[in-house]
Structure 1
């Protein structure tokens, strides 16, 4: 194997390990720009590790090279990113991505790995390897993308089975619309299909995952008129779970089947889903009010998105306003939510969601924040009888108070921050209340003093947490001391923190130490060195196999360059 120069290696890493987002300046002024410029940064890090009393959680030594260079060609900026680590040596094909989206006036071209977002229920940020274009001439909006959404995987990484786990999936998405900024209306479509031949022949084995096909039609828009605004998104998804199924779909009208059949193969495994959300609101200087409605069918999915929180319907009202020359700001929301939209579950859950926040500036030095949330869930039996013992009926309340006090002078600044939070879960089901009720209390007090003339910052933190349930009581309390100091004309920064915490579980106590030391030396604006050392020690009162006495040391040395 031939030895590569350092520059050649960096170039290969940039091209093989980069995820790129490219934008361009107006090419009409290209003659005024420099031919080639390079900026950005890179770092080299070495990590050290050792442990006693427990198995090693990582390698004793590792390293990683990272960088984010930005290459500019006649004003066209191309940001790059690379990562090279010794841990990747075990991979035959590391996860390499490269893509760009150069723009000229109202034309944007996409190539490589891209994450495009057309609307929440159609193409919503799914990574696609391919190409596309966005056109925005005047008030018109056009978009098109084509490429690979999933790469074929013949091995289930969780079980090691060589059955088909994920097929090669390709698709395209198109958008046509009108409008600019916050006033627009878009029609969107995405179609994707699995290649059933992309993972080879599984023989007589039953396929654990069937090749699927999906088409989604979407509508997205928003409009603002003076202080009023409306916005909405909708999606209709046709999802064929097995494109090889021989079962016919007979319950759909023939005219609709012939129309939709031009976009997707419809059979007995085809399912129809819908999802939509709509909001209307009003905004003025110190007042806003928004009402939103959302409904997502059970199992709604699109091959252009990774995940949907489905089978829900909710309506929410969210007011916000300020008083007394904006010294007091009040915001809140109140909503109703339910599931089991198609009566397929054994029970239906209904939730009341409420929250409120008050932020008050009492004086120039004193302020306070108050928060309150309440979540109530009630389940009722559906068509199938369900015993009361299995029905959830509970309410969760949360109250938080956070006063703050700050005194800022020329030679010293004092800051005091106190936080108190209480959570209470009450089971309203008489059959299970005695076992499920619980509450927790969390508090911390932080004091920080800054001495600008001495380039010194000191802090102390006191914290306490307690959780009470029907079966056990756990808690912890501790103190953290630390500070940082700048020296040598701010070229050298030293930081130290020492934390001691005592935890208690079911009457058994344990002591935890966490100490850290940081040192940063800036040679100049381009070069700097950084070291971090951290020690963790756990000392239970009674050492047991599930709770052993152990210690860990982690260290890191890094060199960073900005160019």
Structure 2
């Protein structure tokens, strides 16, 4: 409630500074989902909660004199974390299912409050959500930023779920420097994280409270007008168990307010470098990254250690952007120092080509490769997995005197190769998928329709499956095009290796009504999904109903 009160006071204060000069625009929406599930088998359960209601609010308040106050809220009424669907002795505002954010700004000063995602640097903090605050001061070329908050709330153990609990994790970060990240700059980035023991009782199976401290200077400069070079070097201290009483090194003295150093601590470094060259119709980016085996930044919880990456990203745009090419070619060495496992190498390739042949016909082509391989040639620990995917996506638009049509298609092949260390043999399998869509409508008419076919096949010897899907949809606009109603049916047939076919029939109807005078929109939809198993679960079926309602107003 303190956060909501602070927000209300802030907004009220803004209005007091010359109410007539302030302009407010945005939208408010209420959404409700109702779900029912029925099956003749007790082994099957519904895939959604019975009811889910949420309120979404997005606004922007400004006065044209440097003040801006954007606000964004997503508030579920009866759903909190996925682990504990009902609220139980927890602060509603802190729940990760909610997004509450307000970001008042005056010229070069900005404050973010609520659920924030601070982006400081590539090796300190950048992809983790925090409930707290973020202050950003950027007068001229100077930069001063500070963020602090909670990235993870404490959750007590639950033996019925075989869950051992989570510590409350606090994260703070500081950025101090001069210059623009896209020109010449030097920044010092510091991040600190700490697990608070709190009420979580320590057991042998419980997680250990972690701490981390990362110091990372970053710098960059323009080599010439169209080229920019950016670098970062990070020193990281990570403590796996802050409660451990064995010392790390008595000669190392670091205040415990920063981080606890003990026998579970590691010190290591990481570095990244990126060179980008921009042209009128082409660009090239070269990137390299090294992560030491003992480096861990808790601001990037999924950052893989003990690796080195090299990446090349070319891009071309030809003939007034009618032909666009984007590529990514990377090489990665995992377990570089072999501290935890055998060294492996990865090839990461992605290529996309789009061509607008003429005003009617376009074509998209893509290729991707993912391969991982160990250096061992004849060992039970040998690893060799390779995946290749090729896709083609044409689209054609054509007109007659009365009708307009569009036909689009997609076809892809995914080939997978895996070395089986048990049988010392290589196994292969492939997925093939395709789709064909037809959209049509009469010119000047309120009627439209669509037809679709989908196909998927996996040729795995033991678990292969083949699926055929169909789609038929139609829509019409009523009441001077203020009301639009759409309906569709989607049959699907699945054939599994060694079993008779499964059948699914889906149907959906939805309505969208605009009340232009009061800037309000009402949406309703009802969908039904009926699934009947073949011999894989003989005689078993289930039926799902999903009702959705949405009421939105813009201002």
Would you call these one fold, judging by a TM-score over 0.5? yes
Residues 258, 530 of structure 1: alpha-carbon distance in 2 compared, 3 angstrom cutoff: closer
Is 2:535 the partner of 1:542? yes
Residue-pair matches, total: 535
* CA distance in 2: counterparts of 1:483 and 1:13, whole angstroms: 50
Note the alpha carbon deviations across 1:141-164, whole angstroms, 9 max, x for none.
112234444433342578467x7x
* CA distance in 2: counterparts of 1:305 and 1:66, whole angstroms: 30
* CA distance in 2: counterparts of 1:537 and 1:326, whole angstroms: 46
Matches within 5 A, 1:515-526: 515-524=507-516, 525-526=518-519
- 8 Å contact 2:69–2:105 — kept in the other structure? no
Is 2:368 the partner of 1:379? no
Which deviates more from structure 2 when the two are superposed, residues 434-443 or residues 91-100?
Answer: 91-100
Is 2:274 the partner of 1:284? no
**Matching residue within 88, 91, 94 for 2:87:** 91
**Matching residue within 151, 154, 164 for 2:153:** 151
- 8 Å contact 2:533–2:540 — kept in the other structure? yes
Matches within 5 A, 1:52-71: 52-54=39-41, 55=44, 57=46, 62=51, 64-68=53-57, 70=59
Report the counterpart of residue 235 of structure 2 in structure 1: 236
Report the counterpart of residue 97 of structure 2 in structure 1: none
Residues 31, 49 of structure 1: alpha-carbon distance in 2 compared, 3 angstrom cutoff: same
Note the alpha carbon deviations across 1:192-233, whole angstroms, 9 max, x for none.
33344x22665xx54723333321101234434311121233
Which deviates more from structure 2 when the two are superposed, residues 49-58 or residues 101-110?
Answer: 49-58
- 8 Å contact 1:543–1:549 — kept in the other structure? no
Which deviates more from structure 2 when the two are superposed, residues 98-107 or residues 177-186?
Answer: 98-107
* CA distance in 2: counterparts of 1:101 and 1:365, whole angstroms: 44
Offset, 1:182: 1.1
Report the counterpart of residue 359 of structure 1 in structure 2: 354
* CA distance in 2: counterparts of 1:192 and 1:56, whole angstroms: 39
Offset, 1:531: 2.1
Note the alpha carbon deviations across 1:383-408, whole angstroms, 9 max, x for none.
xxx96344122432211111221124
Matches within 5 A, 1:133-172: 133-155=135-157, 159=161, 165-172=165-172
* CA distance in 2: counterparts of 1:334 and 1:152, whole angstroms: 41
User: What's the secondary structure of 2:247's corresponding residue?
Assistant: coil
Offset, 1:328: 2.9
- 8 Å contact 1:315–1:336 — kept in the other structure? yes
Residues 200, 480 of structure 1: alpha-carbon distance in 2 compared, 3 angstrom cutoff: closer
* CA distance in 2: counterparts of 1:373 and 1:240, whole angstroms: 38
- 8 Å contact 2:188–2:216 — kept in the other structure? yes
* CA distance in 2: counterparts of 1:430 and 1:61, whole angstroms: 46
Report the counterpart of residue 406 of structure 1 in structure 2: 397
* CA distance in 2: counterparts of 1:453 and 1:13, whole angstroms: 55
Residues 62, 324 of structure 1: alpha-carbon distance in 2 compared, 3 angstrom cutoff: closer
**Matching residue within 523, 535, 547 for 1:530:** 523
- 8 Å contact 1:232–1:279 — kept in the other structure? yes
- 8 Å contact 1:52–1:550 — kept in the other structure? yes
Offset, 1:477: 1.1
* CA distance in 1: counterparts of 2:12 and 2:237, whole angstroms: 38
TM-score normalised by the chain length of structure 1? 0.83
Offset, 1:73: 8.0
Report the counterpart of residue 213 of structure 1 in structure 2: 211
* CA distance in 2: counterparts of 1:410 and 1:13, whole angstroms: 63
**Matching residue within 435, 448, 462 for 2:453:** 462
Offset, 1:68: 0.7
Q: Give unmatched runs, 5+ long, in structure 2.
A: 95-99
- 8 Å contact 1:229–1:280 — kept in the other structure? yes
- 8 Å contact 1:23–1:76 — kept in the other structure? no
Note the alpha carbon deviations across 1:289-317, whole angstroms, 9 max, x for none.
22111122336322333321333212122
Report the counterpart of residue 177 of structure 2 in structure 1: 177
User: What's the secondary structure of 2:444's corresponding residue?
Assistant: helix
User: What's the secondary structure of 1:96's corresponding residue?
Assistant: helix
- 8 Å contact 1:217–1:235 — kept in the other structure? yes
Q: Give unmatched runs, 5+ long, in structure 1.
A: 1-11
Report the counterpart of residue 191 of structure 1 in structure 2: 192
Note the alpha carbon deviations across 1:73-114, whole angstroms, 9 max, x for none.
866535242535345694233631455332222222344543
Offset, 1:516: 0.9
Offset, 1:14: 9.8
TM-score normalised by the chain length of structure 2? 0.84
Is 2:487 the partner of 1:514? no
Report the counterpart of residue 49 of structure 1 in structure 2: 36
Offset, 1:481: 0.9
User: What's the secondary structure of 1:306's corresponding residue?
Assistant: coil
